[in-house]
Chain A
Amino acid sequence: MDEAVFRNIEACAELSRTMRSALGPNGLNKMIINRLEKLFVTSDASTILSELEIQHPAAKILVLSAEMQQKEIGDGTNMVIVIAGTLLEKAEELLKMGLSVAEVIDGYNTAAKKALEVLEDMVVEEIKDLYDRKAVARALKPVIATKMRGYEDLLTDLVTEACVGVLPSHHVFDVDNVRVCKVPGAGIHNSTVMQGMVFRREVEGFRQRTENAKLAIFTCPFDIAATETKGTVLLKTAEELKNFSSGEERLLEENIKAIAKAGANVVVAGGKFSDLALHYLDQLGIVAVRLLSKFDLRRLCRATGATALPRMDPPTAEQLGHCDVVELTEVGDAQLVAFRQKDSRISTVLLRGATDQLLDDVERAINHAINTYKALTKDARLVPGAGASETEIATRLEVAAAQCPGLEQYAIAKFAEALRELPRFIAENAGVRGSEIITKLAAAHHETGKRNFGLDLENETIGDTVTLGYLDLFLTKSWAMRYAVNAATTVLRVDQIIMAKPAGGPKPKENKDWDNDD
C-alpha cells in the first residue's frame, strides 16, 4: 500500500479532529487570528476553515467540499468535515487490513446510497405551511442552537419573523431579502426585526423624517447633467457669465420642482448631491439619502417598488416607490436611515451586542438559519437530529453489511461505525461520557418504536428527538452526507501528490502607517 495514501488520510483526520470539538450545540469556540491579524471567536466551521487557510492538498479537498455545502445549503459544513475525516480514519484501518482502495471506495459508495435511502425513510415531519411561524421556528431552532446556545429562543423568533414576513406567495425565497444590520452596544436582547430596510448612513439634507413617503430613486449623481464629451462654456461678456450661472440654477430648480411635483418627497441617489441641489431639496422639504452601493439601491428599489432612474428626470407615478416612514434614527451612537414599511419584501434584523466579535458570530448564526429557511422552501422535510438519524442509519447499514457477499461488507460496516461516532463527538463536547451514551443509543435503536431516539444532553441521557424538538433538515443532512463521501473517496483515489514549486508572488503589502485596530 502506498505511503502517500496514509499520509493524506492522516492530514484529513487531523483536520477533522480539530473541527470535531466545534460540533454540535455544545461545540467549543475557536479563537483564530488570521493573517491580517483579525480576531475571530466562533464555532462556525465555514469561518474557521476559510480563515485557517489550509495548505495540505488532501485536507484542502475536505475544505472544498465543506465550502460547497456552505454554498448549496449554507449549513452543516462541520458535519461534512467530521464525517469525511472519520470515514478516512476508518478507511485507514481497512487498508491496513489488506483491502484495496477500490474495494473501500466501492463499499463506501454502496453504503452512502443505502444511507440516503434510510435517511429518506427517517423523515418524520414535513412543514406544510411555510408561513406557520411555530412550525418554522421548530426547524430553525436547532440550527441556531448549534451556533448560539443560550440565545436560541430569542434569535429563532427574530429570524422566523424576518423570514416568514418576506416570503413571497410563489415560495421562491431570496436570502438577500433578509438583511442584518449590526450596531454595537446594548445586548442581544435589544435586537429587533423591522419590515423594510435600514442603512448605516445619515440623511444629506435637513429634513429627517417623512411619513407616507414617495421615493424617487436615481442611479446617477443628483446634480446638473454633464455631457460625456468635454464641454467648454464660451463666454464673451460678464453679462453672459451671470446669465449662465443663473440659468444653471434655474434649470436645476425647475428640475427638482418637477420631481417634487411628480409626488416624490424622498430622493435617493447613487451619487453625490450637489450643494445647490440640496438647497432646493431642503426648500421643498424633501428627504435626501445617498447610498453608496448600487446593490443597496437595487434592494431598496425592490423593497419599495421603485424603478431606478438613470437620469435626473421627474419620475412617473409608476416609477415612484412607496414606504410608510423614512426617518433618521439613532441607535446607540450610530445614525441609521430607516425605510419602514408594512408587508415589505425586505426585512432587516437589527442586531445589538456587546462586541464586534459577538455581533459577527450572531450574524453568522442568523445567516445559517436564513439559509436553512431557504432550504426549507425547496424541501420542507425534517429528520430526527441529535444523532438519532445517524444511529438509525448505522444500525440498518450493519444489517445490510452482514448480507453483503463481497469484500465491501467491511467497508459498509466501517461506514456505519463512522456514523456512530457523530453522536459521540456531540456528547463529548457537552462533557458527557461518549461511549456510555452511544451504547445506550445503539441499544435503543434495536428496540421497536425507538428509532427516533437521540441525545438529550440537558439531562445527560437519550430521548425521543421528535418530542424534544431536535429536528434537522433532510436536505442539509443528505447533502452533507453526499459531499462527505465524495470528499473521502476522492482523497482515497489519489495515490500520489505532485507539487509544483510555490509561485513566488509579490510580497503582501505592509501597511506600516496603519493604526493598530486594538
Chain B
Amino acid sequence: MSAIKALNPKAEVARAAQALAVNISAAKGLQDVLKSNLGPKGTMKMLVSGAGEIKITKDGNVLLHEMQIQHPTASLIARVATAQDDVTGDGTTSTVLLIGEILKQADIHIDEGVHPRVLTEGLEKGKQRALEILESMRTRQGNVDREVLLSVARTSLRTKVSTELADHLTEIVTDAVLAIQQPGQPIDLHMVEMMEMMHKTENDSRLVRGLVFDHGARHPDMPKRVENAYVLACNVSMEYEKSEVNSSFFYKTAEDREKLVRAEREFTDDKVRKVIALKREVCAKDPKASFVVINLKGIDPFSLDMLASEGIMALRRAKRRNMERLALACGATPVNSVDDVTADALGRAGLVYEHVLGEEKFTFVEQCSSARSVTILLKGSSKYALLQMKDAVHDGLRAVKNALDDQCVIPGGGAFEVAASRVLHELALSIPSKARLGVQTLADALLIIPKTLAANAGLDAQEAVARLLQEAQHRPLGLDLTSGEPMLAEQAGVLDNYCVKRQTINSAAVIASNLLLVDEIMRAGLSSLKG
C-alpha cells in the first residue's frame, strides 16, 4: 500500500515495475500510431473532427495536436514532440519514435535487473557522444546556397505530401524565404502570407511576389484589373461615423433637413476628395498609371461611388497584418490621415487585379519591383488538401529558415542515425562500467529511424539496415527508398536540418531518461491508469 492511499483513499497509484510498464507501454503505443507516417513513403491518417471536418495528414505535429490524447505519459511525450515542432518546425515523428524505441530497448535491460539509474547515466553519455558526431557530420558549412536550400526543402516537404506536389512546392518555399531574407536581420516567416484558394489542383499553387487579399473591390463599376498602379495604404474611415456624444439635429423645414443631410456627408466626402486629388496629381504626371486604395477601415457606398467614378480601385476593411506586409511588398507607407498625404507615401505595383471564384473574390497585388513580403498561393481541390498543403508549406518554410540560420546541413535518409549508432556501439565496448548498457540502448534505438523508413517503403527493414551499417564505415550513407540500396545522401540531395536533429537527440534522451526514472505514478481522484 502506498502512503498516498492513507492520505487520499481515492488516489490511484502505480508503483515501481508497474509504473515503468505503464510508461513504456504508453510510449510504445504512441510509437505504433506514428510509425507508419515517417518518411516520404509513409501513409496518411485521416482525422475527423467533432464537426465532421476531414483532415488528412502524416505530419506528426498535426496528428499529436488533433488526437486528443488521454493517457498522461503519452500526452507528456506528445507535448515534448510538439514543443520540438514549435522550436524547429520539424522532427516530431522522429522524436516520438526515438523516445518509444529507447524505452523499448531499455525495457529489455531492466527486465534483466539493471537499475534504471544506471541506464540513464549511459544514455546521457551516449547522447553527448551522439551530439559530437552530429557536429562532425555538418556539411556545407557557411556555404548554404539555393541548391542546398532546395534540397532541404524538398527533403522536408516529401515527408508531408506526395512526391510530385513536394517537388512543385520546393521552389516556391525556397524562393519565398529567399525573397524575404534581409541581410543581417533574423528571418520573419510572418512576412510570407499563405492564401488558400479552392481552385484547380494542388500543382497550380504558386508564389506571388506581392500580396493576395481575400476580398475584392466593393463596387461594380470599379476597374477589375489595373496595371502600373500607385497603391495608397491607409487607415482612414471613409464612411459616416457617429459622434461619440449624443447628438441630434433640430430643424424646422424640410429644406433645413435636406441641408443637414448634405452637411453630414460633407465631412466624409472631404476625405475622399483629398484621395481623389492625390490620384489626379500622380496620374497627371504619369497618364498611364492607375490608382488603388487599400483601406483598413470602411468605405461606404457613397464614397465608393465617388472613387469608382474616378476609376480608382478601392478595397475596404483590409486585415491589419496585410497592411504591414503591403508596406514591405510594394513600398507603400500606411497613412492614418489623408490630410497631408503626398505621393511619397504611395507604393507601386505592376499589376493589381481581381479574381472571382464563385462567391469569393480575391485581389492580387503583383509585380512589385522589390517585394520583401510574398504570398504563397495555395490551390487545391478541397479543404483537406489545402489544409495538408498549408501544414507542409509551413514546415518547408521552417526547414529553409533553419538551414539559413544554422548555415549548415546534415545528410539525411537515416545517414546520421546509422553513423551515430556505429560509433556508439564502439563506444559501448570501451566503457567498462554498467553505463555501457545505456550507450548500447541509445545505439540500438537510433536505428529505429532507418528501419521505419525502410519498412514504410515496403523494403525489408533488417536487411536494408544491416547493409547500411556495413557500408557506412567511412562515409555518411543514407537509405535510397526506391531501390533499398545505400546512397550518398548529400549527393542525392537528401539533406536534413542540423538543429532539428540536435533537438531530437536532446529531447528524446532527456524525456526517455525522465520516464525511466519514474517509480511511482499517482493520480488523485477517480480515473484509471490503464495504458
Q: Do A and B bind each other?
A: yes
- Residues of A at the B interface (CB closer than 8 Å) are 55, 57-58, 60-61, 64-65, 67-68, 71-72, 100-103, 109, 219, 224-235, 240, 243-244, 247-248, 250-251, 298, 301-302, 307-311, 482-483, 486, 489-490, 493-503, 505
11 contacts between A and B (CB under 8 A): A64-B384, A65-B382, A102-B458, A228-B240, A228-B264, A247-B254, A482-B201, A486-B381, A497-B45, A498-B67, A500-B66
Cβ contact within 8 Å between A248 and B254: yes
Complex Cα distance, B48 from A55, in Å, reads: 10
Cβ contact within 8 Å between A227 and B257: yes
* Shortest beta-carbon distance from B185 to chain A in Å: 40
Q: Top 5 nearest A-B pairs by Cβ distance?
A: A503-B50, A495-B43, A247-B254, A248-B254, A64-B382
Cβ contact within 8 Å between A301 and B381: no
Question: Which B215-268 residues have C-beta < 8 A from chain A?
Answer: 220-221, 240, 242-243, 247-255, 257-258, 260-261, 264
Does B383 sit at the interface, judged by CB under 8 A? Answer: yes
Given contact pairs A232-B249, A235-B252, A493 touches B44 in the complex (Cβ within 8 A): yes
Does B49 sit at the interface, judged by CB under 8 A? Answer: yes
- A sample of 14 more A-B contacts (CB under 8 A), given A248-B254, A308-B220, A498-B47, is A61-B382, A61-B384, A64-B384, A219-B301, A227-B264, A234-B252, A240-B252, A244-B254, A251-B254, A301-B220, A486-B201, A489-B162, A494-B43, A501-B50
Cβ contact within 8 Å between A229 and B242: yes
Does B68 sit at the interface, judged by CB under 8 A? Answer: yes
* Shortest beta-carbon distance from B116 to chain A in Å: 32
Cβ contact within 8 Å between B220 and A298: yes
Complex Cα distance, B49 from A505, in Å, reads: 13
Per a CB cutoff under 8 Å, which of B43, B68, B221, B257 touches A231? B257
For A505, the chain B residues whose CB sits under 8 A away are 51
* Shortest beta-carbon distance from B122 to chain A in Å: 35
Given contact pairs A57-B48, A68-B382, A310 touches B250 in the complex (Cβ within 8 A): no
Per a CB cutoff under 8 Å, which of B33, B54, B199, B250 touches A57? B54
Complex Cα distance, B200 from A72, in Å, reads: 7
Complex Cα distance, B162 from A516, in Å, reads: 51
Does B451 sit at the interface, judged by CB under 8 A? Answer: no
Question: Which B56-114 residues have C-beta < 8 A from chain A?
Answer: 56, 63, 66-68
Cβ contact within 8 Å between A229 and B247: yes
Per a CB cutoff under 8 Å, which of A100, A243, A496 touches B458? A100
Give B162-178 as 1s and 0s: 1 = Cβ < 8 Å from A's Cβ atoms: 10100000000000000
Cβ contact within 8 Å between A483 and B381: yes
Does B186 sit at the interface, judged by CB under 8 A? Answer: no
Does B36 sit at the interface, judged by CB under 8 A? Answer: yes
* Shortest beta-carbon distance from A105 to chain B in Å: 8
For A58, the chain B residues whose CB sits under 8 A away are 46
Does B525 sit at the interface, judged by CB under 8 A? Answer: no
Cβ contact within 8 Å between B242 and A228: yes
Cβ contact within 8 Å between B249 and A494: no
Instruction: Give the interface size bracket for B toward A.
Output: 35 or more
Does B377 sit at the interface, judged by CB under 8 A? Answer: no
Does B302 sit at the interface, judged by CB under 8 A? Answer: yes
Closest chain B residue to A505, Cβ basis:
B51
Does B52 sit at the interface, judged by CB under 8 A? Answer: yes
Cβ contact within 8 Å between B255 and A231: no
Complex Cα distance, B304 from A308, in Å, reads: 12
- Residues of B at the A interface (CB closer than 8 Å) are 33, 36, 41, 43-52, 54, 56, 63, 66-68, 162, 164, 198-201, 220-221, 240, 242-243, 247-255, 257-258, 260-261, 264, 301-302, 305, 358, 381-385, 457-458
* Shortest beta-carbon distance from A125 to chain B in Å: 25
* Shortest beta-carbon distance from A170 to chain B in Å: 12
Per a CB cutoff under 8 Å, which of B45, B198, B249, B264 touches A495? B45
Complex Cα distance, B457 from A65, in Å, reads: 28
Cβ contact within 8 Å between B248 and A231: yes
Complex Cα distance, B365 from A162, in Å, reads: 36
Closest chain B residue to A299, Cβ basis:
B220
* Shortest beta-carbon distance from B323 to chain A in Å: 27
For B257, the chain A residues whose CB sits under 8 A away are 225, 227, 231
For B260, the chain A residues whose CB sits under 8 A away are 227, 231
Complex Cα distance, B381 from A64, in Å, reads: 8
For B247, the chain A residues whose CB sits under 8 A away are 229-230
Complex Cα distance, B51 from A55, in Å, reads: 11
Closest chain A residue to B58, Cβ basis:
A493
Cβ contact within 8 Å between A68 and B381: yes
For A244, the chain B residues whose CB sits under 8 A away are 252-254
Cβ contact within 8 Å between A494 and B301: no
Complex Cα distance, B302 from A100, in Å, reads: 64
For B255, the chain A residues whose CB sits under 8 A away are 247, 251
Most interface-central of B250, B252, B264 (chain A CB within 10 A):
B252
For A243, the chain B residues whose CB sits under 8 A away are 253
Closest chain A residue to B302, Cβ basis:
A310
For B54, the chain A residues whose CB sits under 8 A away are 57, 60-61, 64
* Shortest beta-carbon distance from B51 to chain A in Å: 5
Cβ contact within 8 Å between B358 and A494: no
Per a CB cutoff under 8 Å, which of B56, B220, B261, B385 touches A227? B261
For B385, the chain A residues whose CB sits under 8 A away are 490
Per a CB cutoff under 8 Å, which of B47, B264, B305 touches A500? B47
Per a CB cutoff under 8 Å, which of A230, A302, A494 touches B56? A494
Cβ contact within 8 Å between A234 and B251: yes
Given contact pairs A61-B384, A311-B302, A486-B201, A229 touches B46 in the complex (Cβ within 8 A): no
Per a CB cutoff under 8 Å, which of A101, A251, A497 touches B48? A497
Closest chain A residue to B221, Cβ basis:
A307
Complex Cα distance, B251 from A72, in Å, reads: 57
Complex Cα distance, B482 from A100, in Å, reads: 13
Complex Cα distance, B264 from A229, in Å, reads: 8
* Shortest beta-carbon distance from A255 to chain B in Å: 9
Cβ contact within 8 Å between A231 and B251: yes
Complex Cα distance, B66 from A71, in Å, reads: 30
Complex Cα distance, B250 from A233, in Å, reads: 6
* Shortest beta-carbon distance from A58 to chain B in Å: 7
For B248, the chain A residues whose CB sits under 8 A away are 229-232
Cβ contact within 8 Å between B44 and A494: yes
Closest chain B residue to A255, Cβ basis:
B258
Cβ contact within 8 Å between A68 and B261: no
Closest chain B residue to A503, Cβ basis:
B50
Most interface-central of B43, B63, B67, B384 (chain A CB within 10 A):
B43
Complex Cα distance, B308 from A298, in Å, reads: 15
For A55, the chain B residues whose CB sits under 8 A away are 52
Complex Cα distance, B385 from A490, in Å, reads: 9
Cβ contact within 8 Å between B44 and A500: no
For A60, the chain B residues whose CB sits under 8 A away are 54
Cβ contact within 8 Å between A502 and B52: yes
For A500, the chain B residues whose CB sits under 8 A away are 47-50, 66, 68
Most interface-central of B50, B164, B383 (chain A CB within 10 A):
B50
Per a CB cutoff under 8 Å, which of A65, A224, A232, A240 touches B381? A65
Cβ contact within 8 Å between A227 and B249: yes
Cβ contact within 8 Å between A498 and B45: yes
* Shortest beta-carbon distance from B32 to chain A in Å: 11
For A228, the chain B residues whose CB sits under 8 A away are 240, 242, 264
Cβ contact within 8 Å between A234 and B253: no
For A250, the chain B residues whose CB sits under 8 A away are 254
Per a CB cutoff under 8 Å, which of A103, A231, A482, A497 touches B249? A231
For A503, the chain B residues whose CB sits under 8 A away are 49-51
Closest chain A residue to B456, Cβ basis:
A102
For A483, the chain B residues whose CB sits under 8 A away are 381
Cβ contact within 8 Å between B43 and A493: yes
Complex Cα distance, B163 from A489, in Å, reads: 13
Complex Cα distance, B256 from A235, in Å, reads: 13
Most interface-central of A227, A499, A501 (chain B CB within 10 A):
A227
Complex Cα distance, B261 from A251, in Å, reads: 14
Cβ contact within 8 Å between B45 and A224: no
Cβ contact within 8 Å between A230 and B253: no
Given contact pairs A244-B253, A298-B220, A483-B381, A310 touches B301 in the complex (Cβ within 8 A): yes
Complex Cα distance, B164 from A109, in Å, reads: 10
For B200, the chain A residues whose CB sits under 8 A away are 72
